[in-house]
Structure 1
Amino acid sequence: MTRNQGPVRPIPIPRTPPPRRPRPTAWTALALVVAAVVALPIVTVVGRVFVPSEGVWPHLVATVLPLYLSNTLTLVAGVSTLAVVIGVTTGWLVAAYEFPGRRVFEWALMLPLAMPAYVIAYVYFDRLSFWGPVQTGLRQAFGWGRGDYWFPQVASLPGAVVLLALVLYPYVYLLARAAFLGQSQHLMEAARALGHSRASAFRRVALPMAWPAIAAGAAFVAMETLADYGAVVHLGVQTLTTGIFRTWFARGAPVAAAQLSALLVLFVLTAFLLERVIRGNRRFAGDAGGRAAALVRVRLGPGTAALAAGACALPVALGFVFPAAELVRLAIIAGDPMWGPRFVVLATNSLKMAAGAAALLVGIAVFLGHARRLQGGPAIGAAMQAASLGYAMPGAVIAVGVLIPLAAFDNALDALMRARFGVSTGLVLTGTIAALMFAYVVRYLAVALKTVEAALARIPRSMDEAARTLGTGPAGLLVRVHVPLLRRGMLTAAIFVFADVMKELPATLIVRPFNFDTLAIRTYRLASDGRLEEAATAALMIVAVGILPVILLSRALNR
């Protein structure tokens, strides 16, 4: 017999402590400093709201501000509505139907993204204005005089709405098409089983499910419309953006210009809030049974297929093919009288600024993304969100926010040097390449940061833990592990930033050094003087560079 030993007590097994997260306080602190510096121009603009403007602001309120506001609101509403109509229609056609040319339209519908808004405005104004070849040909053919016929005015608010929508609808098309492709065929079949036609199923099922993506695309369109300067000023439409330029340069009132910029920031935030309200808390679940069935395309008959192909071809033809063909024709026939050393200087300036901004922004994005991965938290997350707001701000607002603190620093440094050493330092930062590069960093950090963070998220955390187990520190983890795995994402981010900086206009116009011109500024100046033939070569180079991110987007969406 064995003696009763009592209840058996389990032997306690020591728990393996979870791997301790490193405490890279230096990385976090430096990341917060970088984010704060990038957010400084936006904070500066908002902080100038309550600064006295020496009577300029009341004068603006009593004279031109109502016109600025009404034109801006009408422009944003019109462009967003038209872009949604074009983007949703074409996105649904290429996602849900099979017709001749569909595979071509999948990527061709994104080509207008490569066409800067100010370039398309120059081309259509040159072709369709009263002294353009179209109206001149009509008068000669029918013997008409000035008041004998009606012709739509390109240089007008409706003209600006149409032209901006032609180059901005791809934002809605991209997101709407992706949302439609992600929907399940089972849901459409269920709607058809309940007696709905395919058109009714689209209205009641597919469209509501894609509404969050459509609202996000419309918000992008609204922000780009608010940011535009070259197109609206060429078409004679007075908006808040053109008012900032006039108030700063014509009136010499930087405080009032900053207050107009703060009002424009309010418009941008309103666009964000409207997108959130419209989108609401919609959440849509896929099939409960597992992998959702892909949306099956319906083959259209000859007549409807021709209508679908025409609906997809029209925005591509008007938004890219026609203006690009006109630029090629002008460049070949007229030529560029400045082709040679001067043009090489302009192209070199643009390429240097775009390449430098791409390299700098990718480096900052990799550093910030790595710091956030090492030690997340609400503080660094909020700081990076604030630093990313620059992409939602118009270039004119960024320029005003950059120049005000830099000018204050230069004046303070000059006063100090005069008082201490009797030497005037002049402008150290204002009106320099460094100031322009800072404006690009503020404007486009979000582009690089989102792309790099998306690539960084695909790196498993187990690699980080393995590197730490082998004694690799935070710096070694970045250089030896993350950077080699991020090369493709870094290249993608660099291409996007490069193309954006090449066609950037308002911030470059305000912040650039004296006598420092780029291809975008040359195109703007010559086209504003009615010399589109001479500007065609520079515009074509900007468009050619803009096609690179379009190709990347198309390949990514197809994958």
Structure 2
Amino acid sequence: MGTRVLGTLAYTIAAACLLPMVAVFLAAVTGGTDTISHLMDTVLPRYTATTVILVVLVAIGTFSIGVGAAWLVTMTRFPGVRILEIALVLPLAFPAYVLAYAYTFILDHPGIVQTTLRQVTGWGPRDYWFPEIRSTEGAALMLVLVLYPYVYLLARAAFLQQSATAFLAARALGSSPWSAFLRVSLPMARPAIAGGVLLAVMETIADFGTVAYFGVQTFATGIYTSWFSMADRAAAAQLALCLLGFALLMAVTERAQRGKAKYYQAGKRHTALPAAQLKGWQSAAALTLCVIPVLFGFLLPVIVLVQMGFESEQNLLSRRYVGFIQNSLTLAGTAAVVTVCAAICVGFFQRLKPGRQSAAAAYLARLGYAVPGGVIAVGLMVPFASFDNALDAWMRETFDISTGLLVTGSIWLLVAAYMVRFLAAALSAYEGGQSTVHANMDAAARSLGQTPLGTLRRVHLPILTPSLLTALLIVFVDVMKELPATLIMRPFNFDTLAVQAYRLASDERLEGAAVPSLVILAVGLLPVILICRQVGRNQR
């Protein structure tokens, strides 16, 4: 009975993860051709072009910074390399939209940089040209600064795992260090690097806060505008379907390249790659190149946000802000517990009943991470709004009672959206820990009379406590930072710190937006600290 219940739960969770995509598809194809024709004649080409440009810029930027920094801290030695090896991860704590608020405060027309420039030169507003931060390029820069750690972490791990045999052979055959890197080390690390870049790309197409604040029109902003500003659900669904197709294409591409790209060590023994000691201008150049991402991706924004927070009139201890914090913690805590429990159901069922069906359930459960939050929101709101309206109409006709919206606009539907969005992260953390539990432990527990659920409770969960806590922390922080699904699906008058920061920034009250942004940043530092500790342990 326990196994059947577990299987039912696993398949139900997989179906819940599939539901938003099916709902978006059905809503889009039943929305009529007039809507999509109008979109194609008006906004669709602009959304497509802007999204593609943003993706290309972020891919190039994260690749360049992530791979370059990973190679420098792995293959060279210069003053401060041990500190920078860890500090390069810190920008991962920032949501891109928070970074956007900080840099707008610095670089916009009334910001300190342009104000100082006009005071020093005596120029007027039209006497000089200054790069516009509120642009596609500005949004790409914000995303690059917070997403390059994905590439850096994976590339660094790949370089550390490489044996020096092939690299030294290339050097012995006359290749320079740079040539050996390009022709040997970089191709060997390609699967990990490509995975990091594609992960950054998927985060880019899912981003809403940055592009919305900068006024950059992408599919993510188009969905929100169609849903709220124009009240056109058909247009929102069709735009969501376009974004969903692009996201799934990226996910399939990542899985395909990861599955096919393999390499084998050239020797039986693992020999660490030799690290070159840099001196003079080379040492200074390496130090500068590694400091720049940390400076502009973490240190400078933190200083600016703290200054903005002190200058604001926002009181973090006020009753209103305590409410925002309570709402954020409630959503994040509930979603984290629900998501990790779902990951345990899916992961343990796949271990208990290996086969195509359990593997399919696990695969569907992972799809949500490739789906932007706005798409999930539309995919859940459309069917449940129809259900609520149909139920209300039937209750009115039958019992003359109005049930209103029972599910739509509830906290539980929002928690379900978070579960769909972040289940893949929790499942990865759980399966990583589960791989350390040998199958003999299961056999021993069963021979002692334990049921499958008893084995899970008494054997697996105590061993997997660190992995489960990591999964809880990851989901908790992701929910705290999540913006598009929260904006669309939150209950009336139920605002979070992310929503408050976005609202204040949209009203050009950047100093006020700094206060909730700092709280989000502080929470986001928790998993980054764990990652930094792991990086520190892996230092050679």
Superposition TM-score tier, normalisation by shorter sequence: over 0.9
Report the counterpart of residue 275 of structure 2 in structure 1. 297
Distance in 2 (alpha carbons) for counterparts of 1:418 and 1:129:
54
Encode CA deviations 1:2-22: one digit per residue, 9 max, x unaligned. xxxxxxxxxxxxxxxxxxxx9
Q: 2:338 aligns with which of 336, 360, 366?
A: 360
Report the counterpart of residue 359 of structure 2 in structure 1. 381
After superposition, residues 137-148 of structure 1 pair within 5 angstroms as 137-148=116-127
CA gap of 1:274–1:479, structure 2 versus 1, over 3 A, is closer
Once superposed, what is the RMSD of the aligned Cα atoms?
1.6
What is the Cα deviation at residue 275 of structure 1?
A: 3.6
Confirm or deny: 8 A CA contact 1:495 1:549 kept in the other structure. yes
Distance in 1 (alpha carbons) for counterparts of 2:183 and 2:363:
35
Supply the AA of the counterpart residue of 2:420.
Answer: V
Q: 2:302 aligns with which of 324, 330, 337?
A: 324
Is 1:434–2:412 an aligned residue pair?
Answer: yes
Distance in 2 (alpha carbons) for counterparts of 1:410 and 1:153:
45
Q: TM-score, length-normalised on structure 2?
A: 0.96
What is the Cα deviation at residue 339 of structure 1?
A: 4.2
Equivalenced residues, count: 537
What is the Cα deviation at residue 338 of structure 1?
A: 6.3
Confirm or deny: 8 A CA contact 2:107 2:114 kept in the other structure. yes
Is 1:406–2:384 an aligned residue pair?
Answer: yes
Distance in 2 (alpha carbons) for counterparts of 1:453 and 1:195:
44
Distance in 2 (alpha carbons) for counterparts of 1:33 and 1:519:
31
Confirm or deny: 8 A CA contact 1:126 1:530 kept in the other structure. no
Supply the AA of the counterpart residue of 1:497.
Answer: V
Distance in 2 (alpha carbons) for counterparts of 1:23 and 1:433:
29
Report the counterpart of residue 124 of structure 1 in structure 2. 103
Confirm or deny: 8 A CA contact 2:251 2:370 kept in the other structure. no
Report the counterpart of residue 163 of structure 2 in structure 1. 184
Encode CA deviations 1:299-349: one digit per residue, 9 max, x unaligned. 111321111111000011111111111111122243524641111111111
Percent of paired sites with the same residue: 49
Question: Per the alignment, in what secondary structure is the counterpart of residue 185 of structure 2?
Answer: helix
Report the counterpart of residue 490 of structure 2 in structure 1. 512
Question: Per the alignment, in what secondary structure is the counterpart of residue 55 of structure 1?
Answer: helix
CA gap of 1:251–1:56, structure 2 versus 1, over 3 A, is farther
Is 1:40–2:19 an aligned residue pair?
Answer: yes
Report the counterpart of residue 252 of structure 1 in structure 2. 231
Supply the AA of the counterpart residue of 1:145.
Answer: G
Is 1:220–2:199 an aligned residue pair?
Answer: yes
Q: 2:40 aligns with which of 54, 61, 65?
A: 61
Is 1:208–2:208 an aligned residue pair?
Answer: no
Report the counterpart of residue 473 of structure 2 in structure 1. 495
Confirm or deny: 8 A CA contact 2:79 2:287 kept in the other structure. yes
Q: 2:208 aligns with which of 222, 225, 229?
A: 229
What is the Cα deviation at residue 512 of structure 1?
A: 0.1
Report the counterpart of residue 421 of structure 2 in structure 1. 443
Distance in 2 (alpha carbons) for counterparts of 1:184 and 1:338:
52
Report the counterpart of residue 156 of structure 1 in structure 2. 135
Distance in 2 (alpha carbons) for counterparts of 1:124 and 1:265:
30
What is the Cα deviation at residue 38 of structure 1?
A: 2.6
Confirm or deny: 8 A CA contact 1:223 1:271 kept in the other structure. yes
Encode CA deviations 1:96-129: one digit per residue, 9 max, x unaligned. 1111111111111111110110011111112111
What is the Cα deviation at residue 255 of structure 1?
A: 1.9
Encode CA deviations 1:380-435: one digit per residue, 9 max, x unaligned. 21122112111111110011011112112212221222232121101001001111
Supply the AA of the counterpart residue of 2:329.
Answer: L
CA gap of 1:320–1:98, structure 2 versus 1, over 3 A, is same
Supply the AA of the counterpart residue of 1:321.
Answer: L
Distance in 2 (alpha carbons) for counterparts of 1:317 and 1:410:
50
Question: Per the alignment, in what secondary structure is the counterpart of residue 127 of structure 2?
Answer: coil
What is the Cα deviation at residue 486 of structure 1?
A: 0.9
What is the Cα deviation at residue 464 of structure 1?
A: 0.3
The range that moved more, 172-181 or 263-272, is 263-272
What is the Cα deviation at residue 30 of structure 1?
A: 2.8
Distance in 1 (alpha carbons) for counterparts of 2:64 and 2:253:
18
Unaligned residue ranges in structure 2 (runs of 5+): none
Distance in 2 (alpha carbons) for counterparts of 1:276 and 1:329:
43
Confirm or deny: 8 A CA contact 2:108 2:132 kept in the other structure. yes
Q: 1:171 aligns with which of 132, 150, 155?
A: 150
Report the counterpart of residue 10 of structure 1 in structure 2. none
Q: Which has the larger radius of gyration?
A: 1
Confirm or deny: 8 A CA contact 2:497 2:520 kept in the other structure. yes
Report the counterpart of residue 18 of structure 1 in structure 2. none
Report the counterpart of residue 456 of structure 1 in structure 2. 434
Distance in 2 (alpha carbons) for counterparts of 1:475 and 1:93:
48
Supply the AA of the counterpart residue of 2:348.
Answer: H
Confirm or deny: 8 A CA contact 1:184 1:292 kept in the other structure. yes
Confirm or deny: 8 A CA contact 2:103 2:301 kept in the other structure. yes
Question: Per the alignment, in what secondary structure is the counterpart of residue 495 of structure 2?
Answer: coil
Confirm or deny: 8 A CA contact 1:211 1:279 kept in the other structure. no
Confirm or deny: 8 A CA contact 1:519 1:542 kept in the other structure. yes
Distance in 2 (alpha carbons) for counterparts of 1:521 and 1:23:
41
Confirm or deny: 8 A CA contact 1:49 1:259 kept in the other structure. yes
Supply the AA of the counterpart residue of 2:81.
Answer: R
Question: Per the alignment, in what secondary structure is the counterpart of residue 455 of structure 2?
Answer: helix
What is the Cα deviation at residue 267 of structure 1?
A: 0.9
More helix by share: 2
